[in-house]
Chains A and B, each alone.
Chain A
Amino acid sequence: MTVALAEQTGAWLAEFTSQPAAEPWIRELRDAAFQRFSELGFPTTRNEEWRFTNVAPIARATFGAVKPERLLRVPAGVARLTAADGEARVHLARYASMDANAFVALNTAFLNDATVLQVPKGAVIKEPIEIDFQIAHPGAAHPRILILVGANAQCTIVESYSGTGRYFTNAVTEMVAGEGAVIDHYKVQRESLDAFHVATMQAQLGRSANFVSHNISLGGALVRNDVNVTLSEGVEATINGLYIANGTQHVDNHTVIDHAKPHGTSHELYKGILDGHAHAVFSGRIIVRQDAQKTDSKQTNKNLVLSDDAVIDTKPELQIHADDVRCTHGATIGQLDAESMFYLRSRGIGKNEARSLLIYAFAQDVVDRVKVPELRESLEGFLF
């Protein structure tokens, strides 16, 4: 066991020590993170959080470093900070916990050239902020994003990941919303079908903030998304997800919605479309802290299974410590409706088109919530 762990981390050590120089506080952060990663090692399926997702293919592989092409579109009014800025130092690596998550620790150990953006208090940014990572070579990349949204500011953020060949993206995004901030966040994962993609998004939402997360997962051979949201008083959070997997793709979505304070509302809707031998995992944890009275939380996970060999493991987990709350959850797994197929075909619509139409219809409500027109169009294109 110890030997195996040393082997795992040893392969990363050379890359770790040959990193470019950085500010002293970053170096300290990296050291602590690597230390933590070395202690944790990659999770195994004996870890409840990773029960259905075997990351051995990542643990066993040796990755050199690869620097993704980063295409940034920062609209006027949004500031780009560097690690030297005080604000960055206050917030960076404070939210995404590496206590239990080896991948967050690993990402932090390779913290370099983080993308740090700040939307000033009260600013209303109409154009989306776009952060696009593309990888064209083998290796491991650890994209890191921190977005600070000031009180009553409004913005749209589109994070996307894509590439070619076999590589490993290990991304961490932290988001801090000030009081009354309004954020529409999109994460679009379109990695190559040979790629590994592990990503953690941690959103810290200030009082009365309104946060919408759209987590769209289309590519990747082995994918794990952690979406963690912490709500202060009166926050309204909408957590949407769409995952589409075929072939031997494995896609795991873990969400944690933490109602820390009273009067929070969270609506979660994750939908999956599975074909071939794909395996999907959905785990939705909702925590309602003792203090979080009047919480209103609704979780829905719906899966459309198109083949006999696709597998879905779906698991709600409610941890409710307050007594005056409303929490509901539901999960469905279904196939294409034979009646609907016949109805469409009886009107002259061909079998394949009828199938596409029904698949599209299944995903419609999640797609409709995408407010960035180009993104919605490309999703519609992908679905049809």
Chain B
Amino acid sequence: MALLEIKDLHARVGDREILRGIDLTVNAGEVHAIMGPNGSGKSTLAQVLAGRELYVVTGGQVLYQGRDLLELSPEDRARAGIFLAFQYPVEIPGVSNMYFLKAALNTVRKSQGLEELDAMDFLNLVREKMKLMEMDQTLLNRPVNTGFSGGEKKRNEIFQMAVLEPRLAILDETDSGLDIDALRTVAGGVNALRAPERSMIVVTHYQRLLNYIVPDFVHVLSQGRIVKSGGKELAVALEESGYAGLGIEDEEEALAR
């Protein structure tokens, strides 16, 4: 059984239809890259999978571990092992990173029938994962993402992913706003989490990230549909010819004309 099966998925925000029939199957252990120009629906797909209520699913089906994913609340999806690394991680002043992550981890563990971690075990786990992400430990005591640099926010996302150990990780433009060193660190963190039972969907505009996180499959999204799928070589071909080489333009540009 596939881990994730997306069948003819349609979604809109307001009056605007953004996803217009997505089909995608992700098996355990696979890494799928979703590429596409701005406005093609990449981020929408990521957010719909995580359960963002802003988007209304108007058709199609998503099965996760054989269950109807669209029925589940965002928290139940997270508890079932889905993790979205946000393109724009949200700042939450007043809630410490430590408190937030401990609450998240223990809810997820509890729902999976595991024992909650006490403060000591939690701290040990967190220290180990922070080392992996080359993160400064003082970030733990700061409010969630508040006052973090762009790079720190993205690292914090992957760090959370490392702590929560999801079955399906969705990385939404994790490379945006990162310099090359930060990109290497973040990609290193992601690669360390690759495992036979863990699948990933890597949403990106640029091929650059895929030099570091090498995908098993690459899909090109345009106007809410997957228009081309292939192996990692597709990303390289895209890098050379650009989206225009496939006859694809930025949605905004197309709209502007």
Contacts and interface: CB of A to CB of B under 8 A. Distances in A.
A49 B106 CA distance: 50
A351 B90 contact: no
A346 B51 contact: yes
Interface in A48-80: none
B75 A358 contact: no
Contacts of B93: 361, 364
B94 A340 contact: no
A365 B93 CA distance: 10
Interface in A316-368: 337-340, 342-351, 353-354, 357-358, 360-365
A20 to B, nearest CB: 50
Interface of B: 50-54, 73-75, 77-79, 83-84, 86, 89-90, 92-95, 100-101, 103-104, 107-108, 111, 143-144, 160, 164
Contact of A347 (B53, B94, B160): B160
Contact of A361 (B84, B92, B101, B108): B92
9 contacts: A342-B52, A342-B74, A343-B144, A347-B100, A348-B111, A349-B103, A353-B107, A357-B100, A361-B94
Interface of A: 337-340, 342-351, 353-354, 357-358, 360-365
A342 B94 contact: no
Contact of A348 (B95, B104, B144): B104
B73 A347 contact: no
A365 B50 CA distance: 31
B107 A362 contact: no
B122 to A, nearest CB: 15
A127 B148 CA distance: 39
A272 to B, nearest CB: 15
Contact of B86 (A337, A343, A350, A357): A343
Contact of B50 (A344, A346, A360): A346
B79 A348 contact: yes
Contacts of B78: 345-348
A344 B73 contact: no
B172 to A, nearest CB: 11
Contact of B103 (A353, A363, A365): A353
Contacts of A345: 51, 73-75, 78
B94 A365 contact: yes
Contacts of B94: 360-365
A346 B89 CA distance: 11
A109 B233 CA distance: 89
A165 B51 CA distance: 45
Contacts of B83: 346-347
Nearest to B111: A348
Contacts of A365: 94
B187 to A, nearest CB: 22
- For the complex of A and B, the 3 pairs showing the least CB-CB separation, nearest first, are A361-B94, A364-B94, A348-B78
A232 to B, nearest CB: 35
B164 A342 contact: no
Contacts of A360: 94-95
Contacts of B108: 347-348
A220 B2 CA distance: 57
Nearest to A367: B94
B162 to A, nearest CB: 13
A340 B164 contact: no
B89 A343 contact: yes
Contact of B95 (A338, A339, A351, A357): A357
A265 B176 CA distance: 45
A332 to B, nearest CB: 13
A339 B164 CA distance: 20
A223 B91 CA distance: 35
Contacts of B77: 346
A90 B243 CA distance: 85
A350 B107 CA distance: 8
B75 A350 contact: yes
A347 B90 CA distance: 12
A168 to B, nearest CB: 36
Contacts of B100: 344, 347, 349, 357
B139 to A, nearest CB: 16
Nearest to A354: B75
A343 B92 CA distance: 9
Given A340-B92, A347-B83, 17 more contacts: A342-B51, A342-B74, A343-B86, A343-B92, A344-B92, A345-B78, A346-B50, A346-B51, A346-B84, A347-B101, A347-B164, A349-B107, A350-B107, A358-B92, A363-B94, A364-B93, A365-B94
A348 B75 contact: yes
A361 B95 contact: yes
B92 A351 contact: no
B57 to A, nearest CB: 16
B75 A343 contact: no
B87 to A, nearest CB: 12
A365 B89 CA distance: 22
A346 B92 contact: no
